[in-house]
Each structure stands twice: as C-alpha cells, then as structure tokens.
Amino acid sequence: MSEQDVTPNQTGQTGLLGQVTGLDDQYYMNVYGRRQPLCVVSGEGAWLTGSDGKRYLDLIGGIAVSVLGHAHPRLVQAICEQAGRVIHCSNYFYNEPQARLAERLAVLSGLDGARVFIGNSGAEANEAAIKLARAYFHHQGAPRARIVSALKSFHGRTLATATATGQDKYSAPFAPLPTGFVHVPYNDIAALEQAVDQNTCAVLLEVIQGESGVIMADPVYLKTAEALCRQTGARLIIDEIQTGMGRTGRFLAYEHAGLRPDIVTLAKGLAGGVPIGAMIANEETAAGFKPGDHGTTFGGNPLACAAALAVLDTYAQDQLVERAASVGAALKRQLLDLAERQPAIAEVRGLGLMLGIGLNVPGAQAVKASLLKQGFLVGSVGDTTIRLLPPLIVASADLSLFVRAFGETIAELAH
C-alpha cells in the first residue's frame, strides 16, 4: 500500500502516519496515550526522520536510551557481526560477550569483588536487586522484608518495582500489592533516620529523580542513607537506570557523592537501544544468590551483550562521559542565561546531559508540542517541567539551535 492509497484515519491523519496510527488505535494496547503526531522511520546521529520526511533533533534520546544517537556505525557493526554468529543461547551455557560485559561492568562499578547479573530492562534489574537484598538475609537465617524508598521515585512497572516506586498512580490499580515497602520523603534526613532500623532489608534510592522532574538528591542525604545502612546492615541499592552510563558527567551518578553502594542497577543506554539491564553487587551481597535463586531466558544473550560492549568501547575511545560533563555544563549555562531573560523559566536542574527546566506557569505540554513542530523532540514531566536527555554525541551547535528555538517558544508562552 502506498502512502497515496491511505485514507485519512479517525484523527484526520493521512499517509504512512495515518496508516500506522490507525493500526495502533485498533490493535495496540491502550497504555501510552500517544498524542504526538510523529511516526519515526529512521535516524542518524542525534537526528530522527519522520514519515513526513522531516528531521527532528532528538533531545529525549528514547528516554535516556540512545546514548550513541541513531545508526552509530560501531554499534551497527557490532550488532550485525554478532547476529551473523549467534543471537541467543541458553544460560545453561557460557557465552563470551556476556562474560566480557560482566567483567567491564564489575570494574566500572568500583564495588568490592563485584558480581553482575544481566537481564533485559531496568525494571528487571531493580526486581533482581530487591530479590537479592531479601535473599541475602534469608540465607543468613535472619530474614528481613522491609525496603525503604523515596516518595516521587520511579523504579519500574513490575508489581514489586511499581510498589517500590513512591507514586501511587503507578501501583494503585494493581492492588493488592507486595508487602514490605515503605516510602519516605526525598531529601528528608529525619524521615529516613526514622524509617531505617535493624528490620530494614534495603534502602533503594535514585541520585536524581528523573521521572519526577529531574530532582537532585542532597549529597548529605545520600551519605546519611549509606551510614544508616552500615549501622543496621541494610543493603544500599542505588538505581542508576536513568542516571548511569555517564549521563550526569560521571559513569555512575553515585560517584558525585562518593557513595559505595552494595547494589547498583543499570539499563537504558547500556546497549545503545538494544534491550538490556544489569544488576551489580559487591561480593558480600552477591553471595545472597545461590544457584536457582534467580535467572532469565533472554538476559545476557550474546547480541545484547555485544551491543553493550560496543557502546562501552565507544565511551572509552570517544571520552563520552567527559563529553557529557562539558557539553551538559555548557548547555546548562545557556539555559540559565536564557532564564535571566525569560521570567517563565523558574529554574534549571540536573547534571551533565540530564536536565530539567522548571516553568513558572503551566505550559510544558504546549511548549513540547510547539517544539515538535519546529523539529525538536523534548520530554516533559507534568505541565511545569521540560526534560532533556539527549544522546551523549549531540553536537553543541545543535544544542544552541534548540536553546534559540526554546527561548522563542517560552517568550510566546509568557505572552
């Protein structure tokens, strides 16, 4: 069927976009509430191309996934070469990419005697972390169940990780929920001290709460969490699903605070877009898993691991972590300069290439829609925050184009 043969769908869209949205409306589960009139067909670098032939600067990066942008030659080559050898094998057997990736992540984590488990997503990584923390105490003959996490956090959409998430909208429809989860206000040291005791299994925190608008943790709060875990024996789990992979200017965001967690979780950008997740634990905590305690069919498959190794090779060769720090700092300065001239901007939050732009007036949805028409893809949280998570390879000149367009759009919002 050619684009010319497609009749308008119920929203009046035609061409390939109309065909795809019509199929989506009829057959895809209604969970995303897609409202942006864009069907992506290809990409190169930090730019995506829609079915309308228009190019869009991707400043949301698949929600922090497309760290190398799109169609990166090294990543494409690694995927093609591995697919030509073997895509999948059972975890009954060894495979080289999995072992090589485990070594790389263990070293990068900085954890003592680190051990790695590779799954398929961030939710699976956090689910594995929760299971490991509980298994750690179970196998000592002194089970603990309580997991302390923060309000307004986001840790995934499985039953356990949605329950750990400190936002009822992600868990309320699925009650009864798993027990043992306690939420405390983010950055509230007194509340944290009251919640963590000898019955606490683990404290699960993000260094920056991305899904709540790029809200940063106070380093003192994070160090307090670490100290409480050391005092009580609870495991400290740091969720680096969105903040990891160099996005904040350090490979892992907990490095900014000088933390030494017991467990860390990664996903999103780890394989540049190929589904993968990883849980890394120090040697003491990793002993909590015995053979048969956990597993996965697809996790650690050769294709995903080869892709992740290619991403890590690119990081090392192109110094992308350092680049995220410098380019992100320059972008933040431009936005702060803009804020001085545009009263509609309340603040600019975040580190590296993980930034949130807080607005003084509701309008984030309108700003996002306007920028889409101008060829810029951004994220939003509620109606007062614009969120930026661009590829780490994004050009500074392209970011300057965005800042100019954003400034003009914000000026219109103020009027």
Bridge partner list, 350: 355
Same domain, 59 and 186: no
CATH number of the domain enclosing 96 = 3.40.640.10
Residue 192 sits in the same domain as residue 337: no
Q: How far apart are CA 102 and CA 100, in angstroms?
A: 6
2 lies in a domain?
Answer: no
Same domain, 366 and 336: yes
The predicted model scores a pTM of 0.95
- Residue 180 in any domain: the answer is yes
Token pair belonging to 64: 């922090």
Flag whether 15 is in a domain: no
Range of the domain at 369: 35-64+320-414
Rounded-to-integer distance, Cα 215 and Cα 339, Å = 18
Write out the chain in H/E/C secondary structure. Answer: CCHHHCCCCCCCCCHHHHHHHHHHHHHCCCCCCCCCCCCEEEEEECEEEECCCCEEEECCHHHHCCCCCECCHHHHHHHHHHHCCCCCCCCCCCCHHHHHHHHHHHHHHCCCCCEEEEECCHHHHHHHHHHHHHHHHHCCCCCCCEEEEEECCCCCCCHHHHHHCECHHHCHHHCCCCCCEEEECCCCHHHHHHHCCCCEEEEEEECEECCCCCEECCHHHHHHHHHHHHHHCCEEEEECCCCCCCCCCCCCHHHHHCCCCCEEEECHHHHECECCEEEEECHHHHCCCCCCCCCCCCCCCHHHHHHHHHHHHHHHHHCHHHHHHHHHHHHHHHHHHHHHHCCCEEEEEEECCEEEEEECCCCHHHHHHHHHHHCEECEEECCCEEEECCCCCCCHHHHHHHHHHHHHHHHHHHC
The number of CA neighbours under 13 Å toward the Cβ of 10 is 6
Let me know whether 40 and 58 are in one domain. Answer: yes
Q: Do 136 and 220 share a structural domain?
A: yes
State the total domains in the chain: 2
Look at residue 20 and tell me if it is in a domain.
no
Taking the CA atoms of 280, 277, 69 and 256 in sequence, report the sign of the dihedral they define: negative
What is the widest separation between alpha-carbon atoms in the chain? 69
The pLDDT value recorded for residue 5 is 36
Structure tokens at 63: 């929600």
User: Which of 284, 318, 352 is the last residue in one of the domains?
Assistant: 318
Of 261, 295, 318, the residue that ends a domain is 318
Q: Is the same domain home to 385 and 266?
A: no
One domain, residues 405 and 375: yes
> Which residues in the chain come in under a pLDDT of 50?
1-10
Q: Do residue 338 and residue 285 come from a single domain?
A: no
Q: What is the CATH number of the domain that holds 349?
A: 3.90.1150.10
**Are 139 and 271 in the same domain?**
yes
pLDDT value of residue 12: 58
Whether 94 maps to a domain, the answer reads: yes
Cβ distance 148 to 196 under 8 Å?
A: yes
Domain co-membership, 196 together with 303:
yes
Whether residue 14 is contained in a domain is answered as: no
Residues 23-81: tens digit of each pLDDT: 999 999 999 988 789 999 999 999 999 999 999 999 999 999 999 999 999 999 999 99
Residues 366, 371, 372, 378, Cα dihedral to 10°: -90
Q: Of the residues 303, 318, 333, which one is the last residue of a structural domain?
A: 318
pLDDT given at position 413:
76
271 located within any domain: yes
CA distance 318 to 320: 5
- 47 and 109 together in one domain: no
* Helix 396-414, helix 364-374: angle, nearest 10: 130
Within this chain, do residues 127 and 259 fall inside the same structural domain, yes or no?
A: yes
pLDDT of residue 35: 78
Active site members: 154, 239, 268
Domain membership flag for residue 207: yes
